[in-house]
Amino acid sequence: MEAKKVHRALQLVASLSIDKASQVFSKMIKVGAKIELEKVYVADISRATEELMVTDDFDVIGAFVDLVGDMPFKFLFYVAADDSLALTDLILHREPGVTKKFDLYVSSTVQELGNVLASAVTNVFASDFQIQMKPTPPQVVHDFASTVFGEYIMEAAADQNEILMIESMFKVVRMDIKCRMFLLPKGDTQKTLSGIIGAA
Amino acid sequence: MAKRIMTVDDASIIRLMIKDILVECGGYDVIAECSSGREAVDKYKELRPDLVTMDIVMPEMDGIQALEEILKFDPDAKVVMVTAIDQRESLMKAIRLGATDYIVKPFEADRVMAAVQKAFGVA
């Protein structure tokens, strides 16, 4: 029963965070964008990795961000490497297609998107739940999605077999750019949240 | 004479965006770009720019610490904080320490110019 409550609470947090992130993302790229909450679920770590190897078996650029504070999380944002070129143009308010190769600005675009989106999540925790967190500087990675995901969950896998995943899909209306964002509770975060829900 | 600006952000794309806004507006020269708080403090001492735009979340030394160090060296320094963390506590801390203004990312060109012009006392 308590686990269900925690999952419902996290689903609410995820939904509010993603609404906020959606507004931020649209403002940043200056075209209509929507972020959809796809799933909030508890996954077996090895099974989640296997699934991603099938669905997202492509080259991505991602940003890891540690959210530190009252309830630590690990945050991951990634976009297909080819789409990151168009995102760079959109952020620089240029016609998509101008950026043709990976350079410092492409990597920096993903880095900054990771920073802004992770901050949107911490803003929801702070403003709606009085839970104080702040992001650490993003770490940018360029690899296959499954490898990036594997690195993302590596630390959690040492402590537990199951993780709670919040999965979302970003759709930039005119460009149909798909991105994913994950939030992974670290350490005692689920227990702490359970305590907060229980006391409510 | 053009005002000399230093931009500080670990994301090169943000430094580029701020530079483009300032150059397009005219009257400003971006004389240095830094990617960490530590680098910003060192460069400030070397170049004494007229204004600094300072990110908060950065590796090595964050923007709040860098602000403190710069103000210790030059109490009249003009520093505009740039942050994606729209959290009152961090921003108020920066203002209490002596930051001139702040900009929340993602930003509009008008907001950047308003903060910069305010720092120079331009209405």
Average pLDDT of every residue of chain A: 79
Q: What is the ipTM of this complex?
A: 0.79
pLDDT of residue A176: 72
pLDDT of residue B56: 92
- Per-residue pLDDT tens over the stretch B59-72: 889 999 999 999 99
Shortest CA distance to B12 belongs to which of A68, A21, A91? A91
Sign of CA dihedral B74, B79, B83, B89: positive
3-state secondary structure of B28: strand
Residue B114 reports pLDDT greater than 90: yes
pLDDT confidence of A200, banded at 50, 70, 90? Answer: very low
Model pTM?
Answer: 0.83
Sign of CA dihedral B31, B19, B15, B100: positive
Rounded to whole angstroms, how far apart are CA atoms A119 and A144? 25
Give A144 to chain B, closest Cα distance, Å: 23
- Among A11-25, A172-186, B92-106, top mean pLDDT goes to B92-106
pLDDT confidence of A157, banded at 50, 70, 90? Answer: low
User: What are the DSSP E strand ranges found in B9-118?
Assistant: 28-34, 51-55, 79-83, 101-104
Element (H, E) at A97: none
pLDDT of residue B20: 93
Segment 29-88 of chain B within 8 Å of chain A by CB: 57-59, 83-87
Determine contact, residues A59/A80, Cβ cutoff 8 Å. Answer: yes
pLDDT of residue B113: 95
Sign of CA dihedral A122, B82, A107, A158: negative
Q: Chain A partners of B35 at a C-beta cutoff of 8 Å?
A: none
- Separation in Å, CA A192 to CA A67, A119, A197: 15, 21, 9
